[in-house]
Every structure is written in structure tokens, then in C-alpha cells.
Amino acid sequence: MSDGKSVLLGVSGGIAAYKSAEIARALHVDGYRVQAVMTRAATKFITPLTLASLTGNKVITDLFADASPDETLSSAIEHIEVAQSADLLLVAPATADVLAKFALGLADDFLSTAHLAFEGPLVLAPAMNTRMWEHPATRENLALLRSRGARIVDPDSGELACGTIGPGRLADPALIAGAVRDALREDDDLHGECVLVTAGPTREALDPVRFLSNRSSGRMGFAIAEAAARRGAKVILVAGPVGLPTPQSCERIDVVSAEEMNDAVMSRFDEATVAVMAAAVADYRPRSTSPQKLKKRDGIPAVELEETPDILRSAGERKGQRVLIGFAAETEGLEENARHKLLAKGCDLIVANPVGGSTGFDVDRNQGLLLSTDGDVVRLDPMSKGRMAERILDATAELRRRKAA
Ligand SMILES: Cc1cc2nc3c(=O)[nH]c(=O)nc-3n(C[C@H](O)[C@H](O)[C@H](O)COP(=O)(O)O)c2cc1C
């Protein structure tokens, strides 16, 4: 069940810290390697010996622990390596203080330092007094952490240790262990798939120095490519002219024009099991391209346009059992226009993005609607493009499972 994966279990200083023993045990029984890290406050509630006995590993309690001055540096580096080699970081219970530190990016103890050094899935199981849970600071910290991709196992409602009744009690340990399993399974759920992604704008030349293009930065498509590769897929990334580094483990094909993008997509389409067409492909190009730079002295040129190849439509015609995902950037009639495109182009899903505001083109965040052919509409509230990529791939993996069944 665990495939030998390792979980870094952070335990912070709340009354529910004793329940981390049950969580550690459940994970250990599932076959995960568990490395526990306790904050200084957590050790007031439960001893490191309890977690060490249950996990079979020495518990980390301090960035500089057990080291003579000479050994301090190597000890700290070794601890960072422990963090980096983990497959998932779980904090249960997560105090209000831990949520605030993670949201701000503080690094003043081992757990918060490990959080910054860690790149994999993060699962947080908060537990605290109801007023602390409902405080705007805690709400905002949680929203920020969620937008960065953290999975939150919400606390239960009930009578708390402090005597109040309301939300704040640590979720059931079995549920928390389940969230870990889900997060790690999801992490591999595109294994065996080949995901073809297009990203960025295209450029349609007017002359050797001028072109028609758009404001796409390529960040959404690159985020999808990166996430798909991390989730186990083979990824072919067809990129328009963008200034972004190639995501790890992705094969990148650089193109400039819509024609070149079409050629690249069509030549690799047979290999793909999933096609995510996130590029903002120009719909029109100049009918002719001047071989020489147009001169001002020759007057204002009349530019006649013609249609570029419709990559999404061609992909729709050839899709077979593949999952095909399109994007629609709209300035008006978001849902209506996107649904029309979804059906007209033969997509399985379409991501509709409103143009304008602080999300969308050339920024790190995005929002919109996820529309599917069965009529479902999922709202995607403003979130990082990385998180949105995960949401799109969650839906993709589900569709692939359904098609395979
Ligand atoms: C008896 C007691 C119980 C506490 N329970 C909680 C709790 O359930 N949740 C929480 O967020 N803070 C709780 N606190 C406050 C934290 O221990 C305090 O904010 C501490 O600085 C957290 O440190 P840490 O986040 O490094 O573990 C409690 C404090 C005490 C004295």
C-alpha cells in the first residue's frame, strides 16, 4: 500500500499532540517510513520517546540538537536531508502558530525550516480552540496555505478540551492517515500516461522583426506539465516563445507560430493519452509575411489576415480514447462561450478563464470554471497556477480512470 514511501510527521504543541501517536502508528502499520519531528512546545504534551518507539526512528526535536559546536553544521544539514528525502509532510496536530509560521515562511525551528526545504505534498491537520480557529488571522493563513496547494484535514466540531463547543478538535486519526494515503496515491496517479501539453503564446510574423501575438506567459501550461510529470506521466511540452525554464522530466519542443505548434502537436499526438491545450494560439495571422522589414516611408500597411490551423479542433477530431482538455479565455459570457467551445471542439473538459483583474494572463494566479461534457461546472476560486494545475489533473485522472473502466 505504501510502496516504501516516507512521511515526515510534524507534531506541534497542542492538547491533541497525544493523538499523533495514533497517527504515527496507523502510518507505520500501513508500511510508511515515519520520521517524527516535534516542536519544543509539542514535547510538553507528549514525550519524543513515545513517537520514537512507535516509528522506530529517533525523533527530531531541535535544529541544533545533540551536537557539539563542531558538529552543529553537519547535524543541521543532515536534518535538512531528512526533510528533502521525505515523500510527504504531515503536521498533526497543526497549531495556529504553525499555520501562521508556514503561511509567512518563517524558519525558526526544525519543523518550519523543513517546511521551507520540502517540495512535496503538504497535509495539515489543525486543532485548536474554536476562537483561535475562527480568528481572521487563522482563516487567512489557511486560505493562503490552501492556495499554495496544502491539503487541510479540517477539524471536527464537538466539545474541546478547553470546555468550549465548536470546531477545532483534531480530525479522526484514521481520516488523517487516509488523507496521507490519498495525497500520496494522487501523486502517482498519472503513471503510464503520456500528457501532451501546449503552453504560451504563438507569434505570427508580419515581417522579419514584427509579429502578432498575445499576453500569454505560458505559466499555466508549464505548471500543468510540471505537475503531470511529478504525478508520474511522461510529458511532452510544446512551448511557444516564453522565458520559462523547462520543468523537470519534461520533453520540450519549442515553436514560434501556430503552424509550427500545430505540426508539433500533430506529429506527437499518437503517443499521447491526454492532451492539455493550454497555449493561447493566435486565431489569425497575416496572409503574407514581408521578407524585408516594412518601411515607415512606404506608408501604413494594410494587413490582411487569414485563419491559423485550429489545433484544438484537429485534436478533437483525432482524439479517440484520449482525454482532451481545452482552455477558453473570455472577456464576456464566460460559461456560455466556454461551453460552446467545449462542444464545438470535442473536448472532455474546458477551463474557462475570465480575462482581466489580478488573475489570468501573465500573472501567477488564475481562476475560472471547469466545465465538462456531462454538464458539471466546478468553480475554481483564485489560486496559484500550480494549485490549479493539480485541480485540472485531478479531473483528468478521474476521466482517464472512467475511460479505462
Ligand atoms: C495547555 C495548552 C494547550 C494548548 N493547546 C493548543 C491547541 O490545541 N492548538 C493550538 O494552536 N495551540 C495550543 N496551545 C498554544 C501553543 O502551545 C502555543 O501557541 C505554542 O507556542 C505552539 O508552539 P508550536 O507551534 O511551535 O508547537 C496550547 C497551550 C497550552 C498551554
- Residues 112 and 101: their CA atoms lie apart, in Å, by 7
Alpha helices in 58-216 (DSSP H): 72-85, 96-104, 110-117, 130-134, 136-147, 173-186
Residue 311 is predicted with a pLDDT of 97
Is pLDDT above 60 for 70? no
Ligand 1 pocket, residue 14 CB under 6 Å: yes
The atom of ligand 1 lying closest to the CA of 11 is 27
Residue whose C-alpha cell reads 488523507 in the numeric block = 179
Closest residue to atom 4 of ligand 1, CA basis: 14
Ligand 1 pocket, residue 27 CB under 6 Å: no
Indicate whether 353 and 236 sit together in one domain: yes
Indicate whether 28 and 134 sit together in one domain: yes
Indicate whether 164 and 246 sit together in one domain: no
Ligand 1 pocket, residue 278 CB under 6 Å: no
The atom of ligand 1 lying closest to the CA of 101 is 25
- The residue from 133, 166, 186 where one domain ends is 186
Indicate whether 178 and 36 sit together in one domain: yes
Closest residue to atom 19 of ligand 1, CA basis: 97
Closest residue to atom 10 of ligand 1, CA basis: 95
Residue 302 is predicted with a pLDDT of 92
CATH code where residue 209 lies: 3.40.50.10300
Characterise 365 by phi-psi region: left (phi > 0), alpha (psi -120 to 50), beta (else). beta
Indicate whether 178 and 283 sit together in one domain: no
- What is the whole-number distance in angstroms between the Cα of residue 167 and the centre of ligand 1? 16
Indicate whether 208 and 124 sit together in one domain: no
pLDDT, mean of residues 16-45: 95
Q: Best substitution site from 20, 63, 97, 134 to test ligand 1's pocket, by max atoms within 8 Å of Cβ?
A: 97
CA 147 remoteness from chain centre? 9
Is pLDDT above 90 for 345? yes
Ligand 1 pocket, residue 17 CB under 6 Å: no
Ligand 1 pocket, residue 95 CB under 6 Å: yes
Indicate whether 162 and 279 sit together in one domain: no
Indicate whether 173 and 245 sit together in one domain: no
Q: What is the DSSP string of 237-268?
A: EEE-S---PPPTTEEEEE--SHHHHHHHHHHH
- Confirm whether 250 is a catalytic residue: no
CATH code where residue 23 lies: 3.40.50.1950
- 270 lies in some domain: yes
Indicate whether 248 and 365 sit together in one domain: yes
Catalytic residue among 162, 194, 250, 347: 162
- What is the whole-number distance in angstroms between the Cα of residue 19 and the centre of ligand 1? 14
Is pLDDT above 70 for 235? yes
Is pLDDT above 80 for 66? no
Indicate whether 17 and 79 sit together in one domain: yes
Q: Best substitution site from 95, 132, 134 to test ligand 1's pocket, by max atoms within 8 Å of Cβ?
A: 95
- What is the whole-number distance in angstroms between the Cα of residue 117 and the centre of ligand 1? 24
Ligand 1 pocket, residue 97 CB under 6 Å: yes
- 390 lies in some domain: yes
Whether the Cβ atoms of residue 179 and residue 162 lie closer than 8 Å to each other = no
Total number of domains constituting the chain: 2
Characterise 24 by phi-psi region: left (phi > 0), alpha (psi -120 to 50), beta (else). alpha
- What is the whole-number distance in angstroms between the Cα of residue 14 and the centre of ligand 1? 4
- The residue from 134, 151, 186 where one domain ends is 186
Question: Strand, helix or coil at 153?
Answer: coil
pLDDT, mean of residues 265-282: 98
- The residue from 186, 216, 235 where one domain ends is 186
pLDDT in tens, 153-192: 989 988 877 777 888 999 999 989 988 988 887 668 899 9
- 1 lies in some domain: no
Question: Strand, helix or coil at 187?
Answer: coil
Ligand 1 pocket, residue 38 CB under 6 Å: no
Ligand 1 pocket, residue 128 CB under 6 Å: yes
- 363 lies in some domain: yes
The atom of ligand 1 lying closest to the CA of 12 is 27
- Residues 285 and 232: their CA atoms lie apart, in Å, by 37
- Residues 213 and 287: their CA atoms lie apart, in Å, by 15
Ligand 1 pocket, residue 160 CB under 6 Å: no
Cell numbers for 233, please give them: 506521466
- What is the whole-number distance in angstroms between the Cα of residue 133 and the centre of ligand 1? 12
Q: Lowest-confidence range among 5-19, 156-170, 282-296?
A: 156-170
* Contacts of residue 358, Cβ cutoff 8 Å, sequence gap at least 6: 365, 382
- What is the whole-number distance in angstroms between the Cα of residue 370 and the centre of ligand 1? 39
- What is the whole-number distance in angstroms between the Cα of residue 64 and the centre of ligand 1? 22
Indicate whether 81 and 172 sit together in one domain: yes
Query: Domain span at residue 231?
Result: 194-404
Whether the Cβ atoms of residue 345 and residue 319 lie closer than 8 Å to each other = no
Q: Lowest-confidence range among 97-111, 252-266, 295-309, 361-375?
A: 361-375
Is pLDDT above 80 for 80? no
- What is the whole-number distance in angstroms between the Cα of residue 41 and the centre of ligand 1? 7
Whether the Cβ atoms of residue 36 and residue 57 lie closer than 8 Å to each other = yes
pLDDT tier at 218, thresholds 50, 70, 90:
very high
Ligand 1 pocket, residue 275 CB under 6 Å: no
- 41 lies in some domain: yes
Indicate whether 181 and 223 sit together in one domain: no
